[in-house]
Amino acid sequence: MSKKVLITEDLHPFLVRGLENLGYECDERFGILQQEVTPIIHLYHGIVVATRIIVGREIIERASSLKFIARAGSGMENIDVVYAEAKNISCISSPEGNANSVGEHAAALLLAIFHNITQSFLQTRNEQWLVEENRVHELDGRTIAIIGYGNTGKAFAKKLPPFNMKVLAYDKYLRNYGDAFAEEAEMKRIFDEAEIISFHVPLTEETKWMIDTQYLQRFKEQIHLINTSRGKIIRHKDLLECIHNGKVLDAALDVYENENLTSHTQEERNLFRELINTGRVIFTPHVAGKSFESKKKIAEVLLKKISSLS
């Protein structure tokens, strides 16, 4: 009898074909709801999720046949990895699959804030041809710090050599990670030297709300901020405060603490609008890792890792 895998998202067909070749039966249930997973999870040998489905203790307790949980993309905050592994369920992710896409997007955000791309486009769309108001700053010679030097941090660093910048990197969990693209640095040096900071860290209990007023005020220079990791690493009301007091010159964010904008309370809606109305914050809707190419790369990475479990 073939082993069943529940596919909860519309992933590249390469994954399904590959799993079928390995002898799995794929049950493609795109858009399945959280409450619909729990009563049927006992039927499956594996489950593939993105961010919608939370594989927590309740699901894992009922997953009597489950051998693996596969995360399409990076970040495992929606999976209780510790409890799953205690039940001998393998947990895998595929951050390698969309790292290049995230790196390119971070570079695009960097250029957008330094070259006033969004502001000048909106002005010209309204038939305003404002030249002096959009005089730009160059990246040449500036110091950028990359916080988190895993797959996406390294991918971003690889895009930076043409800009002739000093690139510093910090990663609490790595050793001897400096390379041709970034110099390993302690946070004290980053606080002293960095003009631009880009975050590439997972969301954990340690990183949740890590960037607050106290953190941002430790920078010696006024800074430009980029975040393509997770929204909840930043306390956005503190970011707004630091924009108003001049410590943060501008921010380019692909993520937000509550990305379901329709569920915002009035307070959340006001904060979101205030950030945008500063004219110093660019948002994109968590699309940094969602290139057409990364969709297949993620499938390839997952298939390789799942096959190694067989």
Closest CA to 145 of 108, 110, 111: 110
**Separation CA 269–CA 273 (nearest Å):** 6
Residues 38, 69, single domain; the answer is yes
* Cα of 268 vs its chain's centroid, Å: 21
Residues 135, 245, single domain; the answer is yes
Task: Confirm if 91 and 71 have CB atoms less than 8 A apart.
Answer: yes
Residues 157, 240, single domain; the answer is yes
* Cα of 28 vs its chain's centroid, Å: 25
Residues 46, 65, single domain; the answer is yes
Closest CA to 160 of 204, 111, 208, 119: 111
The answer to the question of residue 292 being in a domain is no
Q: Please list the pLDDT of the chain residue by residue as tens digits (310 residues).
A: 579 999 999 999 999 999 999 999 999 999 899 999 999 999 999 999 998 999 999 999 999 999 999 999 988 999 999 999 999 999 999 999 999 999 999 999 999 999 999 999 999 999 999 999 999 999 999 999 999 999 999 999 999 999 999 999 999 999 999 999 999 999 999 999 999 999 999 999 999 999 999 999 999 999 999 999 999 999 999 999 999 999 999 999 999 999 999 999 999 999 999 999 999 999 999 999 999 999 999 999 999 999 999 6
The answer to the question of residue 263 being in a domain is yes
Residue 86: Cβ-neighbour burial (10 angstroms; 0-12, 13-18, 19+) = exposed
Inter-CA distances, 173 with 34, 79, 117, Å: 33, 21, 35
Tell me what pLDDT residue 310 has: 63
Task: Work out the angle at residue 22's Cα, subtended by the Cα atoms of residues 75 and 28, and round it to the nearest 5 degrees.
Answer: 60
Residue 116: CB atoms within 10 A of its CB come to: 18
The answer to the question of residue 299 being in a domain is no
**Separation CA 27–CA 40 (nearest Å):** 11
Residues 127, 141, single domain; the answer is yes
Tell me what pLDDT residue 2 has: 72
Number of domains in the chain: 2
Residues 169, 234, single domain; the answer is yes
Last residue of a domain, one of 55, 70, 93: 93
Last residue of a domain, one of 50, 77, 93: 93
The answer to the question of residue 294 being in a domain is no
Last residue of a domain, one of 63, 93, 123: 93
The answer to the question of residue 134 being in a domain is yes
Residues 197, 114, single domain; the answer is yes
Residues 159, 278, single domain; the answer is yes
Domain with 40 in it: what CATH number?
3.40.50.720
Residues 133, 88, single domain; the answer is no
Residues 81, 143, single domain; the answer is no
Domain extent, residue 145, equals 99-283
Residues 175, 67, single domain; the answer is no
The answer to the question of residue 305 being in a domain is no
Residues 37, 88, single domain; the answer is yes
The answer to the question of residue 159 being in a domain is yes
The answer to the question of residue 295 being in a domain is no
